[in-house]
Amino acid sequence: MTTTIKKTIVTLAASIALILAMFVCIGFTTANADSECEHRYEQTEVAPTCTKAGYTMYLCVDCGNTYTEQTEAAKGHSYEIVIVPNTCTHKGYTTHFCTTCGYEYSDNYNDEMGHDYEEKEVEPTCTERGYTEHTCTICNDVFSDNYTDALGHAYEAEITEPDCLNGGYTTYTCSVCDDSYIADYTEPNGHTYTEIVNAATCVTYGYTEHICNDCGERSVTDYIAPKGHKYLDVIVTANPDSLGYTRHICVNCNYSYLSDFVTSGDSGYIKEPEAPVVPEIHQHAYEIHTMDDKENMNLIVMRVCNCGDTKSGYINVTFTDDKGIATESKVAGNKIDYSEMFGKVVITLADENGEQLKTVVVTTKERPAEPTEPDMPVIPDEPKQPDEPKQPDEPTTPAEPEQPNDPKADEPTPTTPDEPNSDVTNTKKGGNGVAVTLFVILIVLALGGGAGFVLYKKIKAKKQK
């Protein structure tokens, strides 16, 4: 036996001996107390339980002596039954539960039933695996097996084209599960404008209208104030039967109004006829009226009836400038442009049939000065061709100089030298030194090389002698 076990046995034996000694001592003390104490007991009632009888316990307050007397028998358990049915994985049983003390026990055990599975095939999707799902019909327990791979998306592209303000993009939609996403963005096209210029009239503003060719977006810019009316004044004289007045006709829009009414009599009134007068059917009688628009260099021409009606059509125009040169043209409308003419210009107007209607003289811009003809440039003489250079003559080879005689044998008789500056061309020693030197240099240049130099040295030596 090990040391630990031996120590444990010794300790246990000592404890038992101590307990026995205590009981002996208590019994001895109680016996002595019973024989000597006059007991004063206190009673404690203990109620019965399901398994124990009830009793009264008497305890001496002086010596601690006790004894008991039974008062009631044990009541016994009061059970309620709970039936727990068996399941697929657990046994069934009956539980008896005492409602008084809580004691319980179980019996009537039934074995577990086991699962009863039904199978369901779950097809794979674009993002999820397929599998077989097994579900128990009794307890709904579920497990899966037989997995298959996900199919993956099958996207179809739908292109949304960009417009003026919005960018384009492509929508990709799966034909199987309708999953979608957007990609491939493009920038907006921006507006493509067509500009429509609306000219100002006499009473309305002019403006430029910008209309997008793609989306129809419209904006207006470049407002121009109305021009205002430009009037041609037609004076209608009064007569005994009608008033006189001035008709003001706008040459641009034909708007007109009357002013400056006058009568032919002193009273200012026209007598009422005694009998009603049947008015005659008006026959237009057109007169031609002109107005010089110097600012725009236009001659305004209108054919106006006294009733205010105007006549339009072609006008045959002949321009005669200050040099008497005539230019004919045909003008439609009421404005004759003379801005290309110069000086005083006679404008002759005729109708469609060539019948002359009126002649008007207008003054336009001055004729620019005609450029003068420049002087003809002097043609230089033909340059003369230089003569071809002549080839120099081949220099002759000089003869070998003779050896000089003994200078003492042929010593010349001294003579009086010439003046230093006299032009001596022939001397006994060969003439002027400068001329001889120049002659030698020319020979050296002609012969070239060492031969010329040797000849020069010999001539120089001979000269010194």
Q: Is residue 274 within 8 Å of residue 223, measured between CB atoms?
A: no
Q: Report the alpha-carbon angle 24-30-31, nearest 5.
A: 90
DSSP string, 74-95: -----EEEEEE---SSS-EEEE
Whether 173 and 201 share a structural domain: no
What are φ and ψ of residue 177, in 5° steps?
A: -115, 0
Collect all residues with Cβ–Cβ distance below 8 Å to 139 and sequence separation of at least 6.
Answer: 87, 88, 89, 115
Per-residue CA distances from 228 to 222, 253, 297, 318, 407 (Å): 18, 10, 18, 30, 131
Kindly state the DSSP code that residue 336 receives in the 8-state scheme: E
**The pLDDT of residue 357:** 85
- Is 341 exposed, middle or buried (CB count within 10 Å of its CB: 0-12, 13-18, 19+)? buried
Our measurement of the distance from residue 243's CA atom to the centroid of its chain's CA atoms, rounded to an integer in Å, reads 71
Of 341, 363, 385, the last residue of a domain is 363
Alpha carbon distance 155, 408 (integer Å): 137
Whether 442 and 346 share a structural domain: no
Whether 307 and 262 share a structural domain: yes
Kindly state the DSSP code that residue 435 receives in the 8-state scheme: H
Alpha carbon distance 146, 126 (integer Å): 18
Alpha carbon distance 254, 204 (integer Å): 15
Secondary structure class of 36 (helix, strand, coil): helix
Of 312, 332, 363, the last residue of a domain is 363
Whether 89 and 38 share a structural domain: no
Is 415 domain-assigned?
no
Q: How many domains does the chain have?
A: 7
Whether 136 and 236 share a structural domain: no
Kindly state the DSSP code that residue 239 receives in the 8-state scheme: B
Q: In this structure, what is the dihedral angle of CA atoms 20, 23, 29, 33, given to the nearest 10 degrees?
A: -160
pTM: 0.40
Is 421 domain-assigned?
no
Q: How many CB atoms lie within 10 A of CB 53?
A: 15
Q: Is residue 317 within 8 Å of residue 332, measured between CB atoms?
A: no
Whether 197 and 246 share a structural domain: no
Alpha carbon distance 354, 453 (integer Å): 109
End-to-end CA, the chain: 164
Is 126 domain-assigned?
yes
- Is 12 exposed, middle or buried (CB count within 10 Å of its CB: 0-12, 13-18, 19+)? exposed
Q: Ramachandran region of residue 448, left (φ > 0), alpha (ψ -120 to 50) or beta?
A: left
Structure tokens at 221: 């810019």
Whether 133 and 41 share a structural domain: no
Collect all residues with Cβ–Cβ distance below 8 Å to 50 and sequence separation of at least 6.
Answer: 74, 75, 76, 77, 78, 98, 100, 101, 103
DSSP string, 116-131: -EEEEEE---SSS-EE
Structure tokens at 118: 């039904």
Is 167 domain-assigned?
yes
Whether 202 and 104 share a structural domain: no
Is 376 domain-assigned?
no
Whether 290 and 239 share a structural domain: yes
Task: Give 160-186 as a 3 state SS string.
Answer: ECCCCCCCEEEEEEECCCCCEEEEEEE
Is 321 domain-assigned?
yes
Is 375 domain-assigned?
no
Whether 139 and 179 share a structural domain: no
**The pLDDT of residue 3:** 52
Whether 257 and 241 share a structural domain: yes
Per-residue CA distances from 133 to 128, 148, 277, 371 (Å): 14, 12, 115, 110
Is 219 domain-assigned?
yes
Whether 202 and 240 share a structural domain: no
Give the residue from 311, 295, 308 showing the smallest Cα distance to 230. 295
In order along its 465 residues, the chain shows pLDDT tens digits of: 445 555 556 566 666 765 664 554 455 444 444 557 888 888 898 989 998 888 999 999 889 899 898 888 888 899 999 999 999 999 999 999 999 888 999 999 999 988 999 999 999 999 999 999 999 998 999 999 999 999 899 999 999 999 999 999 999 999 999 899 999 999 999 999 999 999 999 999 999 999 999 889 999 999 999 988 988 888 888 887 778 889 899 988 889 999 988 876 655 555 666 676 666 787 888 888 898 888 888 888 888 887 888 877 788 899 898 888 888 888 888 888 888 888 889 999 888 888 888 899 988 888 887 776 666 666 666 666 656 655 555 555 555 555 555 544 444 444 444 443 434 333 334 444 545 555 555 554 555 545 445 555 555 555 554
Name the residue range of residue 172's domain: 155-186
